[in-house]
Chain A
Amino acid sequence: MMHLTAFNRAEQGHILTPRLETPFHDQLAALSETNDWYSWAGYKAPHSIFDTELEYFAIRSTSALFDISPMVKYRIRGSDAARYLNRLTVRDVAKLGVGRVHYTAWCDDHGHVLDDGTLFRLATDDFRLCCQERHLPWLLDSAGGFSVEISEETAEIAAVALQGPTAFAVLEAAGFAGVETLKPFQLAEFAHADGSVTISRTGFTGDLGYELFAPAKAALSLWDRLWTAGSGFGLKAIGYDALNRARIEAGFIVANADFITADAALRADRERLPDEIGLDWLVDPQKPYFNGRDAILRARTKGTLKHVLVGLEIEGNIPAEGAIVYHRGKKEVGLVTAAIWSPLAKRNIAIATLSRPFGASVTDNLWVEIYAMRELQYQKLMKRVRVVSRPFVKLDRRSATPPGRF
């Protein structure tokens, strides 16, 4: 019999690997020049692979491979799956065809957003929900009264995003025949090794791009297949910092970065209704009942929405990350949650949350205060901002079908 101490130590083996490794980790580690890792939902994920600047330009000029395996993935199957998801999420699932993907969000009973994510309809009664945070208890609690099976498949399913102007050319070279027919937000199954890979024309860059989902055991061979095919198309592996720049240009928001999810919020006033984080367009009052419906519609009717999420264009070229937004340069009215100098738009852009009416009906005379660190001294810059629509960058190649080879 094993000694108790030895047994306990064996049981605690997981503490030796506090960060899990994704199915693609071996390739990422081999390619990594910066050795710059962070924790994404418990997985070791790269901030950068070789150079954030060049990685960003791979997204916009050639193509980039980004490991999205840590993204939380749930599988929802059963005869009530569509009905279940229609009650769970704010968008009308009945309008989501088989083989289609849509961006959506889900709320608690008070209409506060629990997360946003993408919903993949793999078959009539078979869905995959991808998101930033974990929600299994909420998904299971929501299942009462429905005939559905819900499982988390984050670890079982490897996923990688292939984004950039040559993304289609890479897939074509890799032998994924028929992928040219995929329209944005469409998915299809393709043969890979002795199994299959699901490819969807989706992404988080606002560029031409695809996301590939395969069983974890097929991850390495899938990567190799893409990597080999990509050698003539400028394919690079990238980290999150480069992707983050692209997503800001595309105007996408990130849970618990641009808004606090209702489950994570410790302070009651940090929770947000969809309309307060720019997701009002997802909410479909005509569809059947869904969680948070009453609260969202009541807030609209009563005009009690408190916040608004906006795109900002800021004068100058200093990114305003974390800057406070002022009205008339004095009254504090909000916070910048993401900001970059956009190389593509050649503009200084930001995503910010403001307290209404600022950013909604009052959009003039708004300023940000940027603390620019210059050789151990802050220079305070008060810069004028303009509320602009998102995305900051709109690329025709994102949606052109058939896609260009470039």
Chain B
Amino acid sequence: MTSFDAIVIGGGHNGLTAATLLARSGRKVVVIEADDALGGAARSFEFHPGFVSPGLAHIINRLDADVLSALEIDHSTTHVTAPTVALSPTGVHAVLRGAYGETIDGASREEAARFADFRGKLLFQAGIFKRFLKRRPPEVGEIAFDDLKSFATAGLHLLSKGREEGRDFLRMLLMNVADVADEYLTDDRLKGLAAFDATLGIHLGPRSPTSLLGLYYRLTGEVAGATGAQVVAKGNGQSIAALFDAAATKAGVAIRTGTHVEKIVADRGRATGIMLSTGETLTAPAIISAIHPQATFMALTDAAEIGTGFRRAIGNIRTRGNVAKLDLALDRVPDFPGVARADLAGRLVIARSIDHVEQAFNPAKYGQFSTDPVMEITLPSLTDPTLAPDGACTLSALVEFAPYALADGWEKGKPAFLKIVLETLERYCPGFGASIVATHFLTPADMEERYNLPGGHWHHGELQADQLLINRPVNAAAGYATPLEGLYLASAGSHPGGGISGLPGLLAARQILSEKRA
């Protein structure tokens, strides 16, 4: 039996963030990772000899500055803000440059002005949310002074822009993205892009109520202080996983990869350690689970150690993924007609219009995949040449909608859906099919299996109004501490949510550091 001050289950970027922070505070910390290497969904992997995928996350747009500085990670060398190309079947594309379209190419001057209004409004409103993303959610019934202060400053900030802004914020807060986009924009490519960005990774169509929240969430992210900016993820030694891995190692975190946690050891409502599949037991006063909350409580925790209501709430977290991940090895750099070579290194989005996204979503409601999917595409090897052999190229795409619980099952559905995805790409990149060397395709079912991600949901639970803030992942565990004393949550399933931010890990570590040591 080995004892530590803290045990972190799951070596994804959030687990590593929490572990590093705790280690830097002088605690003896160990990270247990089931996979052979750290990084989780942010870890790059070779999917064909010589071809490396950046991992599930191929765009970095919300890596938190506080996380980076707390971990002493220097991410500044990677700041080449990637453009977004809203692809059009006509070959006349719109290109958003800077941080979420500070300038736009390929749209009329009037439309560009309208987009600027739209962007400005959303960035302002997202900024109000942002205040709440970097702190522990308030505890209803036990509102602390700090919480009141943050409510008050958010309110004052809103009012400082005039009553009109306050009214507009409350009006738009729970609207759907389609109505807002229609209100501001006329260009289907831009409206389609907004609809896509709002719903990526969320089981909502652009006309579903509250779908604007997804876009707000995206616009709370920043790169090097530029809100809404994005970079294409690198791989291998420069991957996010590698940076976090190095920070953890430097902080003196003990790391055990290829190690499976069998169960969380608990007695009378207090977690005291973990048992590994080897039978070895590690003990610590604080156990931080940086894996999906359902994996934590349904698989690792004895039902006899948690309440009926709590376990029921955890089991009811809505966490069915809707996104498939495609990685292609290409023998040459593909040619997307109408896209400048330099812009190929950015993000290419296939979402022709709001209707396109909505219609792609419709079948997902009934357990069917979209026959005309929407997707975002990157060519990561153009940003990080180490990902592909010379002259060759990798293509990465996040494709929706691909519901986790496919009515006919993914065994049958996967080849059929892959064929549709490749045909869709072919329409925007004629002849590219001949350049495919290898294909690697993950459905939500595959992600569940590969990443121990219930439902294959990268947010570790739907990022919707009912599963945010004080209700993320469930009310009784919203403050990182859980009803099982000594057990903390630090995954994307906790506030503020998914994406490569490190914030759940940071806030969980702060919570532990703020408590008296047991």
Contact = CB atoms under 8 A, between A and B. Distances in A.
Contacts of A87: 303-304, 308
A170 interface: no
A96 B306 CA distance: 22
Contacts of A58: none
Contacts of B304: 83-84, 86-87, 145-146, 288-289
Interface residues of A, number: 21
B187 interface: no
Contacts of A109: 307-310, 476, 483
B312 interface: yes
A145 B307 contact: no
A145 B303 contact: yes
Contacts of B476: 109
A146 B302 CA distance: 9
Of B302, B303, B312, the most chain A CB neighbours within 10 A belong to: B303
Contacts of A292: 307
B315 interface: yes
A211 interface: no
A84 B304 CA distance: 7
A142 B312 CA distance: 8
Interface in A137-177: 138, 141-142, 144-146
Contact of A145 (B267, B268, B311, B485): B311
Interface string A77-96: 00000011011100000000
Contacts of A287: 268
Contacts of B309: 108-109, 141, 291
A138 B307 CA distance: 11
B298 interface: yes
A47 interface: no
B269 interface: yes
Contacts of A142: 308
A247 interface: no
Interface string B480-506: 000101000000000000000000000
A144 B312 contact: yes
Nearest to B305: A289
B290 interface: no
Contacts of A88: 308
B308 A293 contact: no
Contacts of B308: 87-88, 108-109, 138, 141-142, 291
Contacts of B315: 144
Contacts of A83: 304
Of B298, B308, B309, the most chain A CB neighbours within 10 A belong to: B308
A109 B269 CA distance: 12
Interface in A300-357: none
B248 interface: no
Contact of A289 (B266, B298, B312): B266
Interface in B230-278: 266-269
A383 B517 CA distance: 54
Nearest to B483: A294
Of A83, A109, A287, A293, the most chain B CB neighbours within 10 A belong to: A109
A294 B315 CA distance: 21
A146 B298 CA distance: 11
Nearest to B313: A109
A145 B269 contact: no
Interface in A270-293: 285, 287-289, 291-293
Nearest to B308: A142
A271 to B, nearest CB: 13
Contacts of A84: 304
A296 to B, nearest CB: 11
Contacts of B310: 109
A172 B289 CA distance: 62
Interface in A79-133: 83-84, 86-88, 108-109
Given A109-B476, A109-B483, A144-B312, A291 B307 contact: yes
A144 B269 contact: no
A87 B302 CA distance: 11
B269 A294 contact: yes
Contact of A146 (B266, B267, B303): B303
Nearest to B269: A289
A145 B310 CA distance: 13
Given A83-B304, A109-B476, A145-B303, A293 B312 contact: no
Contacts of A86: 304
Nearest to B270: A289
Contacts of B307: 108-109, 291-292
Contacts of A288: 267-268, 304-305
A88 B309 CA distance: 11
A294 B304 CA distance: 14
A83 B304 CA distance: 7
A247 to B, nearest CB: 29
B483 A145 contact: no
B140 to A, nearest CB: 13
Contacts of B303: 87, 144-146
Contacts of B311: 144-145
B374 to A, nearest CB: 37
A138 B312 CA distance: 10
A146 B304 CA distance: 8
A66 to B, nearest CB: 33
A98 B374 CA distance: 62
Contacts of B312: 141, 144
A190 B421 CA distance: 71
A287 B269 CA distance: 11
Contacts of A141: 308-309, 312
Interface string B287-328: 000000000001000111111111110010000000000000
A293 B310 CA distance: 13
B305 to A, nearest CB: 5
Contacts of A293: 268-269
A253 to B, nearest CB: 23
A150 B139 CA distance: 36
Of A88, A138, A289, the most chain B CB neighbours within 10 A belong to: A289
B478 to A, nearest CB: 14
Contacts of B483: 109, 294
Interface string A193-219: 000000000000000000000000000
A145 B266 contact: no
A261 to B, nearest CB: 15
A132 B298 CA distance: 31
Contacts of B485: 294
Contacts of B269: 289, 293-294
A304 to B, nearest CB: 13
Nearest to A107: B307
A287 B267 CA distance: 10
Interface in B76-102: none
Nearest to B266: A289
A145 B483 CA distance: 17
A293 B309 CA distance: 13
Nearest to B476: A109
Nearest to B304: A87
6 contacts: A141-B308, A287-B268, A289-B268, A289-B306, A292-B307, A294-B269
The 3 closest A-B pairs by CB, nearest first: A145-B303, A109-B307, A109-B309
Given A289-B267, A291-B307, 18 more contacts: A84-B304, A87-B303, A108-B309, A109-B309, A141-B308, A141-B309, A141-B312, A145-B302, A145-B303, A146-B304, A288-B267, A288-B305, A289-B269, A289-B304, A292-B307, A293-B269, A294-B269, A294-B483
